[in-house]
């Protein structure tokens, strides 16, 4: 019998439930029957199962079913399920694994959270209690690993990024491009959704790990390698695209003056932390690592827990109009260090690439300039931010 209040909400919100399954003959029926207690809006993706899955599903002719002749991978199954749900006009898809670890009784928690969300641009991940008895150690470690990279890539802290019990906004997903087809898809989809300003959050759910019934198809070496490759690519995109885009969006939204006051000067960071952020940005900007300045500025500011906005801003001391002066100063310092005078003109540097004939002198001089610039700018910034903080304190006191 259907849970009428939740069933009505599911219909009103235009939600379907997608169940991908592969060789879970011992638990599939229990999961399907549990979901049927809340809704008939179900799409089952049989991902090339070789057990009795097809025979079990023959008993549910009223349910939408897609059968693959061979195993394609969980990501591929989910993507096909999303496409089918969109074609049927659904706006949200709730996914639940068929291995028995999830409890369909948690469906109302997802629906109630969706109902009260103001914009409905929401992606919910059911958070398992990874400390409870019976949770495999490799699952707990893998989840912590995934949580860290998701935070690095999006700035959002979650307690569980690997749970397959989720609610997706299909109107967002239909405009995204995906490239993965295995378990790593569940990482790709939440990162790209977060980049589209979707509210990604956890809600607590129950979990059952019954080794006598549960069949896991996760292959530690192959799938962990795939996930690592995906995260490497997502981190790269984060550093060269997502983080800079966030910064420029913030500036555009607030206006430069407000941004400068609130995010640059009005930060709660101490003058010391801000000054170190300036020093790091200048060091990177003057360094000879051309093409990597933005990536290094954001990555190192995150790693060193400095102010990312300030570091990124000052790494741009190497904007194109300043490049000839930076190269010139680097070569001059290099000559002083090596005590080897060289002859060149500005035309030689810019047109004839004379700098490459004196690469050692340039690189050493460049790092020397980076160190001196970092110290100088850092000291000046420290006194500047200290004065601003004192003035701000006086104004607040008055």
What are 29-63's pLDDT values in tens digits? 999 999 999 999 999 999 999 999 999 999 999 99
Q: Which has the higher per-residue pLDDT, 173 or 138?
A: 173
DSSP strands (E only) in the chain? 15-21, 42-46, 64-67, 92-95, 122-127, 166-169, 199-204
Q: Which of 72, 89, 93 is nearest to 81 (CA)?
A: 93
Same domain, 225 and 266: no
**Could you give the percent of the chain with pLDDT greater than 90?**
49
Does 248 fall in a domain?
Answer: no
Q: Which residue has the tokens 């369909």?
A: 104
Residues 228, 284 within the same domain? no
Domain membership flag for residue 313: yes
Q: For residues 132 and 114, give the distance between their C-alpha atoms in angstroms, rounded to a whole number.
A: 27
Q: Count of domains in the chain?
A: 2
Residue 333 half-sphere exposure toward CB, CA atoms < 13 A:
19
User: Are residue 63 and residue 169 in the same domain, yes or no?
Assistant: yes
Range of the domain at 133: 4-239
Q: Looking at 214, 239, 264, which one is the last position of a domain?
A: 239
Same domain as 132, residue 234: yes
Report the distance separating Cα 31 and Cα 51, nearest Å.
17
Give the span between the Cα atoms of 300 and 281, in whole angstroms: 9
Cβ atoms of residues 326 and 297 within 8 Å: no
Asked if 16 and 162 sit in the same domain, the reply is yes
Q: Report which listed range, 138-152, 171-185, 213-227, 347-361, is most confident.
A: 171-185
* Calpha distance 47→61 (Å, rounded): 18
Cα–Cα dist 294/300, whole Å: 10
The answer to whether residues 134 and 282 belong to one domain is: no
pLDDT given at position 353: 46
- Does one domain contain both 72 and 156? yes
d(CA 230, CA 225): 9
As a whole number of Å, the end-to-end CA separation of the chain is 67
Instruction: Examine residue 245 and state whether it is found in any structural domain, yes or no.
Output: no
Q: Of residues 276 and 244, which shows the higher confidence score?
A: 276
Domain of residue 183, CATH code: 3.90.550.10
Name the residue among 124, 125, 123 with its Cα closest to residue 173.
123
Question: 3-state DSSP call for residue 181?
Answer: coil
Strand 64-67 and strand 199-204: the pairing is: unpaired
Tokens describing residue 105: 């009784």
From the list 41, 36, 43, 52, the residue with the least C-alpha distance to 19 is 43
Is 246 within a domain? no
Any domain includes 250:
no
The predicted model scores a pTM of 0.69
Among 192, 209, 239, which residue terminates a domain?
A: 239
The confidence score (pLDDT) of residue 352 equals 46
Indicate if 292 and 210 belong to the same structural domain. no
Percent of residues, the chain, with pLDDT higher than 70 = 85
pLDDT tens digits for 315-358?
888 877 777 788 888 888 888 888 877 665 555 544 444 445 56
Q: Are residues 272 and 208 in the same domain?
A: no
Tell me which of 109 and 3 has the higher pLDDT: 109
User: According to the 3-state scheme, what is the secondary structure of 278-321?
Assistant: HHHHHHHHHCCCCCCHHHHHHHHHHHCCCCHHHHHHHHHHHCHH
Same domain for 128 and 80:
yes
Q: Residue 66 is encoded by which pair of tokens? A: 């897609």
Strand order through the sheet with 42-46: 64-67, 42-46, 15-21, 92-95, 166-169, 122-127, 199-204
- The verdict on residue 117 lying in a domain is yes
> Which pLDDT value is given to residue 142?
75
- Predicted pLDDT of residue 387: 85
Q: Render pLDDT for 215-231 as a digit per residue (tens, 0 to 9).
A: 566 666 676 788 888 88
User: Which of 200, 215, 239 represents a domain boundary (last residue)?
Assistant: 239
* pLDDT of amino acid 235: 83
pLDDT at 144: 84
Q: Is the pLDDT of residue 140 over 70?
A: no
Mean residue pLDDT across the chain: 85
The string of DSSP letters for 20-78 reads EESS-TTTHHHHHHHHHTT-S-EEEEE-S--SSHHHHHTT-TTSEEEE-SS---HHHHH
């Amino acid at each position: 019998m259907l849970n009428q209040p939740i069933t009505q909400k599911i219909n009103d919100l235009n939600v379907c439930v997608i169940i991908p399954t592969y060789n879970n003959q011992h638990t599939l029926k229990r999961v399907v029957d549990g979901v049927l207690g809340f809704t008939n809006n179900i799409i089952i993706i049989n991902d090339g199962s070789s057990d009795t899955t097809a025979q079990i599903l023959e008993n549910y002719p009223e349910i939408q079913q897609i059968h693959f002749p061979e195993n394609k991978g969980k990501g591929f199954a989910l993507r096909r399920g999303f496409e089918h749900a969109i074609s049927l006009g659904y706006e949200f898809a709730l996914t639940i694994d068929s291995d028995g670890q999830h409890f369909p009784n948690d469906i109302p928690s997802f629906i109630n959270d969706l109902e009260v969300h103001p914009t409905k641009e929401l992606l919910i991940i059911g958070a398992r209690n990874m400390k409870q008895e019976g949770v495999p150690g490799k699952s707990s470690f893998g989840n912590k690993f995934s949580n860290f990279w998701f935070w690095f890539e999006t700035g959002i802290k979650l307690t569980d990024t690997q749970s397959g019990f989720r609610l997706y906004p299909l109107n967002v997903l239909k405009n995204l491009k995906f490239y993965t087809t295995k378990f790593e898809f569940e990482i790709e989809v939440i990162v790209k959704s977060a980049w589209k300003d979707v509210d990604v959050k956890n809600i607590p759910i129950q979990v059952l790990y019954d080794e006598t019934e549960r069949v896991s198809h996760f292959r530690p070496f192959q799938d962990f390698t795939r996930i690592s490759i995906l995260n490497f690519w997502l981190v790269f995109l984060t550093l060269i695209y997502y983080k800079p885009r966030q910064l420029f969006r913030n500036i555009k939204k607030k206006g430069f003056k407000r941004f400068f006051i609130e995010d640059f000067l009005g930060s709660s960071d101490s003058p010391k932390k801000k000054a170190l952020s300036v020093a790091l940005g200048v060091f990177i900007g003057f360094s000879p690592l051309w093409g990597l300045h933005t990536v290094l500025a954001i990555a190192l500011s995150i790693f060193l827990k400095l102010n990312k906005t300030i570091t990124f801003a000052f790494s741009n001391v190497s904007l194109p109009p300043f490049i000839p002066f930076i190269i010139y100063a680097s070569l001059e310092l290099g000559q002083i260090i090596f005590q080897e005078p060289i002859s060149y003109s500005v035309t030689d540097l810019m047109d004839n690439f004379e700098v490459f004939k004196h690469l050692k002198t340039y690189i050493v001089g460049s790092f020397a300039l980076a160190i001196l610039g970092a110290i100088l700018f850092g000291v000046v910034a420290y006194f500047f931010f200290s004065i601003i903080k004192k003035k701000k304190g006086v104004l607040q006191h008055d």
